[in-house]
């Protein structure tokens, strides 16, 4: 009966449109009350909220978000796109490649996929339109480029996964570097292929001017230095992810102040957006913890692990089924919702089958990344369509070639775990 109340209540509340964090906490509390009695729920929730809200690792999230808000307020994304275009614009599909490389750099300081897509829509789409890029191709490039922020550190998704599974956040962030770079290379290959066989869809720049290219790097080099310092500190074990986030946000503030691009109103907006985002994520995590207690006390997770290990399915078959489920969920749920709803169930199963927790985190992040551009939800595509004015159907058509590459990359990461685990294994 308690299972029906807890799980059924969660489904009903989500259908009714209740925010996912509140739905998780409410259904978990009702399920616990039905299973253990009303008297124990209050103290258990109070202890849970205090224990998890005071976790040092949670400070990583607002620090990374604040850093991205400072840089977004400075409109430095346009400078990065401009610099990338000056260097690679002469290549086939040069502006599209510039958008991808700029997004990869911005991903290392933004950490939010939808924010990256919105930023690139305003920074790159006007120039694509001026160069006669087909609107479908331009929207597809911008929408897919935003997904790099999910994988390339600092990724908020990887931080949340680390908190939910108690895996090393530093190792998770470093593990995302090689898959992120491979993803960027895959996108560039698709753009080059389109530009070579259909140059009318993605024209190249008329000339290359070395002087202008060098000059365009002046406002960009501080961001590159920030990325190098952050990743180098993580890899060398000089500081924790939380400390790096704090230093990164301070460095970002210094950059925008030096460029004289931070006003009083933009500073206030950055602080408000950071608090709003952090409280939303915090509520989701705390709700997930309450629901996780419910799943633990009712032994749903243990029963699932026992059932899977007792079955005759080989480990790779179980993993393949899980990935298919994640790809399907990505069509209907946002990335944070997918993590908090499924990871407490699937992670123990994966551990019992002998798979590495860091590697599994990257694989799950990859499937969530794909979900950002798959219909009917495809949040990145919706954001890009809204900002650029490209019809939604056309924007979804534009990402189709990139989706094919995404699936190939997912298969490569599954078959070759060392691509993900080599860098973390070298950390101090």
Using CA of residue 337, residue 190, residue 413, residue 424, what is the dihedral sign?
negative
Pairwise CA distance, residues 409 & 403, whole Å: 10
Cβ neighbours, 10 Å, residue 52: 17
Count, residues in the chain = 428
Per-residue pLDDT of the chain (428 residues; tens, 9 = 90+): 666 777 787 778 877 878 877 888 888 888 878 877 777 767 767 766 666 666 666 777 788 888 877 877 777 777 887 788 888 877 888 888 988 988 888 877 766 677 778 778 887 888 888 888 899 999 999 999 888 888 888 788 888 898 888 898 889 999 999 999 999 999 999 999 998 888 888 887 667 777 888 888 888 888 888 888 888 887 777 778 888 888 888 888 888 888 787 788 888 888 888 888 888 877 877 787 777 777 777 776 666 667 776 777 888 988 998 898 888 888 777 788 788 888 888 898 888 888 999 999 999 999 988 888 888 778 888 888 888 889 988 999 999 999 999 999 999 999 999 999 999 988 76
Instruction: State pTM to two decimals.
Output: 0.85
* Distance from the Cα of residue 217 to its chain's centroid: 27
Pairwise CA distance, residues 189 & 34, whole Å: 55
Which residue has 């929207």 as its token pair? 139
Which of 83, 202, 80, 185 is CA-nearest to residue 140?
A: 202
Taking the domains of the chain in order of start, what are their residue ranges? Answer: 1-54, 55-425
Which residue has 């600092």 as its token pair? 154
> In this structure, what token pair is assigned to residue 199?
């140059």
Using CA of residue 164, residue 117, residue 60, residue 58, what is the dihedral sign?
negative
211-232: b (≥16 Cβ within 10 Å) or e: eebeebbebbebbeebbebbbe
């Amino acid at each position: 009966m308690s299972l029906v109340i807890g799980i059924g209540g969660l489904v009903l509340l989500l259908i009714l449109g209740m925010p996912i964090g509140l739905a998780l906490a409410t259904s978990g509390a009702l399920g616990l009350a039905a299973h253990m009695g009303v008297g124990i729920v209050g103290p258990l929730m109070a202890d849970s909220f205090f224990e998890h809200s005071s976790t040092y690792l949670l400070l990583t999230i607002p620090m990374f978000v604040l850093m991205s808000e400072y840089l977004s307020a400075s409109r430095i994304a346009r400078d990065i796109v401009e610099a990338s275009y000056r260097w690679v614009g002469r290549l086939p599909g040069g502006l599209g490649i510039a958008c991808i490389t700029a997004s990869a750099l911005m991903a290392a300081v933004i950490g939010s996929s939808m924010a990256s897509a919105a930023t690139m829509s305003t920074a790159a789409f006007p120039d694509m339109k001026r160069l006669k890029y087909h609107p479908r191709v331009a929207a597809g490039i911008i929408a897919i480029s935003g997904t790099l922020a999910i994988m390339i550190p600092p990724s908020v998704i990887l931080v949340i996964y680390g908190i939910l599974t108690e895996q090393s956040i530093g190792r998770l962030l470093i593990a995302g570097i090689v898959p992120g770079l491979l993803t960027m290379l895959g996108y560039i290959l698709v753009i080059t292929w389109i530009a070579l066989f259909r140059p009318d869809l993605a024209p190249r720049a008329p000339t290359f001017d070395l002087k202008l290219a060098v000059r365009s790097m002046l406002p960009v080099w501080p961001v590159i230095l920030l990325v190098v310092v952050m990743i180098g500190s993580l890899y060398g074990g000089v500081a924790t992810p939380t400390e790096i986030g704090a230093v990164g946000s301070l460095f970002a503030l210094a950059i925008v102040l030096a460029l004289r691009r931070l006003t009083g109103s933009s500073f206030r907006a950055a602080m408000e957006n950071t608090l709003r985002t952090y409280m939303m994520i915090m509520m989701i995590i705390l709700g997930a913890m309450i629901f996780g207690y419910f799943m633990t006390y009712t032994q749903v997770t243990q029963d699932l692990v026992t059932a899977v290990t007792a079955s005759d399915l080989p480990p790779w078959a179980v993993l393949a089924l899980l990935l298919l489920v994640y790809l399907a969920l990505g069509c209907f749920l946002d990335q944070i919702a997918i993590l908090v709803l499924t990871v407490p169930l699937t992670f123990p199963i994966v551990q019992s089958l002998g798979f590495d927790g860091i590697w599994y985190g990257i694989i799950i992040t990859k499937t969530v990344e794909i979900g950002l551009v798959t219909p009917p939800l495809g949040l990145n595509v919706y954001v890009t369509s809204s900002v650029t004015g490209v019809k939604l159907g056309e924007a979804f058509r534009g990402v189709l070639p990139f989706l094919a590459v995404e699936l190939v990359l997912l298969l490569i990461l599954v078959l070759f775990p060392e691509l993900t685990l080599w860098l973390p294994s070298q950390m101090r």
